[in-house]
């Protein structure tokens, strides 16, 4: 399976069966773990644990559907403001997932990358992240990116700061800067922009996720809570994407 980024025309070209090709890059705002647990009278950490199982199902479904890039919004920069007990449960689950799943990801040909301010998780977790990225670096079936301690505004500010410093030091002519040059300073520098952004649990907002990269993405909002997400839910979103006409700002008709 080729995972090279596709151009705009290829992203919507019909397949041999007459169906639209799957989006090259799907990004998902995984929402609803807390509500799922509360609706069942369960502790919040069990909702996050159930959400981790949904991640496994979604990765498998993306491979089956021919999606080459999957980005999951797992922990936002604002999530640090949640109750300390919940944050500890989330970070503990993250370390457990990295330790228990990395061998399977490598075996299945899935490359894992993490974007965001990983330094906030501490040395132990940073080592686990680096190990997981190294072990899975040669995967070609699916590019899996997990956004951790990530915020779109902070990402843009960091890129702007790097550009300003380069201009100050004489390493960059500001007049030469274009959108592509700016994009190369983002966490997602070597990734295609998302074609489809999905948000679960019925909420309809980006919540500071991939603000720059979402310029021409299609959005699908689904009522399903994240722990209940499965292959059929993903297929529903992909079918909706297939019905969209993508213009990339060009006029038609």
Does 2 score more than 50 pLDDT?
Answer: no
Confidence of residue 8 (pLDDT cuts 50, 70, 90): very low
Confidence of residue 122 (pLDDT cuts 50, 70, 90): confident
Residues 6+ apart with CB under 8 A from 149: 75, 76, 77, 79, 80, 116, 117, 118, 120, 121
25: annotated binding-site residue? Answer: no
User: In this predicted model, which residue has the larger pLDDT, 71 or 81?
Assistant: 71
Q: Domain residue spans in the chain?
A: 22-243
Two tokens, residue 160: 């702007």
Confidence of residue 251 (pLDDT cuts 50, 70, 90): low
Does 246 score more than 90 pLDDT?
Answer: no
What is the pLDDT at residue 233? 98
Give tens-digit pLDDT for 200-228. Answer: 999 999 999 999 999 999 999 999 999 99
> Would you give the DSSP letter of residue 4?
P
Give tens-digit pLDDT for 9-24. Answer: 344 433 333 457 899 9
How far is the C-alpha of 210 from the C-alpha of 71, rounded, in Å?
A: 10
Does 65 score more than 50 pLDDT?
Answer: yes
Mean pLDDT of 150-173: 97
CB neighbourhood size of 89 (10 A): 19
Does 253 score more than 70 pLDDT?
Answer: no
Selection from 50, 72, 51, 29 nearest residue 198 by Cα = 29
Give tens-digit pLDDT for 99-116. Answer: 889 999 999 999 999 999
Q: What percent of the chain has pLDDT over 90?
A: 74
CB neighbourhood size of 155 (10 A): 25
How far is the C-alpha of 22 from the C-alpha of 11, rounded, in Å?
A: 7
Selection from 179, 198, 245, 233 nearest residue 65 by Cα = 233
State the catalytic residues.
Answer: 31, 79
How far is the C-alpha of 128 from the C-alpha of 135, rounded, in Å?
A: 11
124: annotated binding-site residue? Answer: no
Mean pLDDT of 72-89: 85
Mean pLDDT of 186-190: 96
CB neighbourhood size of 40 (10 A): 12
Mean pLDDT of 61-73: 97
Domain 22-243 is classified in which CATH homologous superfamily? Decaprenyl diphosphate synthase-like (3.40.1180.10)
Residues 6+ apart with CB under 8 A from 164: none
What is the pLDDT at residue 63? 96
116: annotated binding-site residue? Answer: no
pTM exceeds 0.85, yes or no: yes
Buried (b) or exposed (e) across 47-66, using 16+ Cβ within 10 A? Answer: bbbbbbebbeebbbbbbeee
What is the pLDDT at residue 200? 98
Confidence of residue 26 (pLDDT cuts 50, 70, 90): very high
34: annotated binding-site residue? Answer: yes
CB neighbourhood size of 20 (10 A): 17
What is the pLDDT at residue 252? 56
236: annotated binding-site residue? Answer: no
């Amino acid at each position: 399976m080729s995972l090279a980024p596709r151009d705009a025309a290829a992203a919507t070209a019909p397949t041999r069966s007459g169906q639209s090709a799957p989006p090259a890059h799907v990004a998902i705002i995984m929402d609803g773990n807390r509500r799922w647990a509360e609706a069942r009278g369960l502790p919040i950490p069990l909702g996050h644990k159930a959400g981790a199982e949904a991640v496994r199902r979604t990765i498998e479904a993306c491979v089956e559907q021919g999606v080459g890039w999957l980005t999951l919004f797992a922990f936002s920069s604002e999530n640090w403001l949640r109750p300390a007990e919940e944050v500890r449960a989330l970070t503990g689950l993250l370390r457990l997932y990295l330790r228990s799943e990395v061998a399977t990801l490598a075996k299945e040909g899935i490359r894992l990358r993490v974007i965001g301010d990983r330094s906030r998780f501490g040395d132990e977790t940073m080592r686990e992240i680096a190990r997981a990225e190294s072990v899975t670096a040669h995967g070609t079936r699916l590019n899996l990116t997990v956004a951790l301690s990530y915020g779109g505004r902070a990402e843009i500010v960091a890129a702007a700061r790097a550009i300003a410093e380069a201009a100050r030091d004489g390493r960059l002519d500001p007049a030469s800067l274009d959108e592509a040059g700016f994009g190369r300073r983002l966490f997602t520098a070597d990734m295609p922009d998302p074609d489809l952004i999905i948000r679960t649990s019925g909420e309809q907002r980006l919540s500071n996720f991939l603000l720059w990269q979402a310029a021409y993405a299609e959005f699908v909002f689904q009522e399903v809570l994240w722990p209940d997400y499965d292959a059929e839910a993903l297929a529903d979103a992909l079918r909706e994407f297939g019905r969209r006409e993508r213009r990339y700002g060009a006029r038609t008709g």
